[in-house]
Amino acid sequence: MPELPEVETIRRDLESRIIGKTITQVVVHLPKMVRGSLEDFSQTLQQNRISALQRVGKLLQLEFIETPFVLLIHLKMTGQLLYTHGNDFAAGGHPFPAFNEPLPNKWTHIELHFEDGSRLYFNDLRQFGYWQLATKNEQKTINQRYGIEPLTQGFTWEAFSEKMSKKKGILKAVLLDQTFISGLGNIYADEVCFASKVLPTRRVEILSMTELSALFENCQKIIEKAVENRGTSFRDYKDTQGKAGGYAKFLAVYGREKEPCLVCGTPIKKIKLAGRGTHFCPSCQK
């Protein structure tokens, strides 16, 4: 579900709410959502204070004051982190009525309770996500596997063009490759291709300098605008208060099959590419 803008929205929301708070209880309803030993998991987290929330690509990383372990959280397709303090949780308005049930519900797999009574719920309908404790060394190794990320200092034209010149393959697959560029997912990959006027089916080794430059610029522009708008809620994505993101209204091609292109009016096409639904304008994109 969430791509970089959605995970970043969650990270920022949580940062202002749980930094410095002590975990008083860990409740695991579905053990398979925890990678590694369950006993160590709860033991390690108990009575720890959260010192920082980081994000690398789509992976959230919680750090603690009393332990060097890091809590890695991946939401995969349908994971949600829902925060409640009293009754400030806005559950309404979900496209799937079943999701509007009070927390915890049948999709809640892990809970963190904090000393002030607030709680963090991990809901995941499809159960693809995971929570995992890692050492600082493991964290470092994991982070090194991620490619350059839009909105960071390392995302320069020099780095981008250098990497692209050595890369082969279908553009869509390259944009989705987290070890190459981190943070883009299926929605934003399609949007970046459209904004850059390049067909996602093209091979990257034959892209012109102008096209590469457009892709570089649009990776940043689109991700930045999506972050400003708190992400895209197309199906399951919700922020920590259960509210939708605001970027859906800016989507030019994703989810717009057969609808007219916003630039030229040609119906948007949808195909399967790199195993994913892929949307593009057959006229604007070359």
Partner DNA sequence: GGCGTTGTTGGGGA
Partner DNA sequence: TTCCCCAACAACGC
> What residue ranges bind DNA (CB under 7 A)?
1-3, 6, 57-59, 74, 76-77, 95-98, 106, 125-128, 168-170, 173, 176, 178, 185-187, 231-237, 245, 272, 274-277
Instruction: Choose between 6 and 111: whose C-beta lies nearer to DNA.
Output: 6
8 A C-beta contact, residue 152 and residue 57: no
8, 11, 55, 58: the active-site residue: 58
Integer Cα distance of 108 and 111 in angstroms: 8
Least Cβ distance, residue 55 to DNA (angstroms): 11
35, 202, 270, 276: the active-site residue: 276
What residues form DSSP beta bridges with 124? 79
Tell me, yes or no, if 106 is annotated catalytic: no
Position 48: which residue type? Answer: N
Tell me, yes or no, if 3 is annotated catalytic: yes
User: CA-based Rg of the chain, rounded to a whole angstrom?
Assistant: 20
Tell me, yes or no, if 224 is annotated catalytic: no
Least Cβ distance, residue 169 to DNA (angstroms): 4
8 A C-beta contact, residue 239 and residue 230: yes
Give the burial string for 232-251 (b: 16+ CB within 10 Å, else e).
Answer: bbbebbbbbebbbbebbeeb
Helix residue ranges per DSSP H, 68-200: 136-144, 157-166, 171-176, 186-195
Tell me, yes or no, if 76 is annotated catalytic: no
Instruction: Choose between 160 and 237: whose C-beta lies nearer to DNA.
Output: 237
Least Cβ distance, residue 173 to DNA (angstroms): 6
Instruction: Choose between 23 and 134: whose C-beta lies nearer to DNA.
Output: 134
Least Cβ distance, residue 84 to DNA (angstroms): 20
Integer Cα distance of 201 and 216 in angstroms: 17
Instruction: Choose between 6 and 211: whose C-beta lies nearer to DNA.
Output: 6
Supply the residues annotated as catalytic: 2-3, 58, 276
